[in-house]
Amino acid sequence: MVTLVVNGLQVAKAFGFFQAWLKNPLRVGAVAPSGRALASLMTSEISHDTGPVIELGPGTRAFTRALIARGVRQEDFALIEFGSEFAAALHFHYPRARTLWMDAARLRTVELFDGRPAGAVVSGLPLLSMPPRKVIAILTGAFRKMRPDGVFYQFTYGPRSPVRLSLLNHLGLEAERIGGTLANFPPAAVYRIRRSTSETGLWYDREPLRQVSWQTSLPATDRG
């Protein structure tokens, strides 16, 4: 019997992911789960020494499995998942991790590692499909939970940064492409987002991140 596979998952499981996308394309963001090649690229700079890791939108656990393979302990995970079906599976497979069924835009309101800052955030969220104010809330929350040198990893299916340049500038962040893979469906690229440096020094030497509210005024081209 021939078993068809999409990004490392049997078609039956991949179809379940596709059904979740049909129900809410803005939340799921992809028509197929991430494959091993993308998971390897997304986690290539993370190891046991990174410290606590926050994963946003773990979904079918592709990135979670890759992170564990790189030495990240379950106890050092905070898995933030909005889909109840995915959150239940995450809690079942990783009982020692912190699994939170919640909107990632509320990240700054929760305590994750008993006051310890995270070393990295791995995001499977469809940031380009979200309104700018929600992206601001997610990024602000993520960087407030990380060390000053913490890194936010985000993939995209498009040719440009997964976060608009005007938003990056507004938040004092910078994005750098670290690689791409054609072995994923669809092909994807991965970006490293971190606090930016300037002629006047590091942002976090003065404050963790610029104060931003839901009512922040944005350029007309970025309003969503």
Q: Can you give the pTM of this predicted structure?
A: 0.79
Residue 128 lies in a domain: yes
Residue 166 lies in a domain: yes
159 DSSP 8-state letter: S
Say whether 176 sits in a helix, a strand or coil. strand
What pLDDT is attached to residue 31?
Answer: 52
What pLDDT is attached to residue 24?
Answer: 58
End-to-end Cα spacing for the chain: 48
**CA distances, 85 to each of 20, 81, 150 (Å):** 9, 9, 30
DSSP 142-199: HHHTEEEEEEEEEEESSSS-SS-HHHHHHHTEEEEEEEEESSSSS-EEEEEEEE-EET
* The length of the chain, given as a count of residues: 224
Residue 114 lies in a domain: yes
Residue 85 lies in a domain: yes
What pLDDT is attached to residue 134?
Answer: 97
Q: pLDDT truncated to tens, each residue of the chain (224 aa)? A: 333 334 444 444 545 545 554 555 555 445 556 789 999 999 999 999 999 999 999 999 999 999 999 999 999 999 999 999 999 999 999 999 999 999 999 999 999 999 899 999 999 999 999 999 999 999 999 999 999 999 999 999 999 999 999 999 999 999 999 999 999 988 999 999 999 976 333 444 444 455 444 444 444 444 33
The neighbouring-strand residues paired with 56 are 80, 123
What pLDDT is attached to residue 217?
Answer: 41
Number of domains in the chain: 1
Cα(196)–Cα(203) distance, integer angstroms: 7
Residue 29 lies in a domain: no
Residue 23 lies in a domain: no
What pLDDT is attached to residue 5?
Answer: 37
- CATH number for the domain harbouring residue 206: 3.40.50.150
What pLDDT is attached to residue 163?
Answer: 97
**CA distances, 53 to each of 5, 87, 127, 136, 217 (Å):** 29, 17, 19, 20, 31
Residue 153 lies in a domain: yes
Residue 137 lies in a domain: yes
Cα(49)–Cα(162) distance, integer angstroms: 27
Cα(100)–Cα(218) distance, integer angstroms: 30
Domain that holds residue 196: 35-222
What pLDDT is attached to residue 185?
Answer: 87
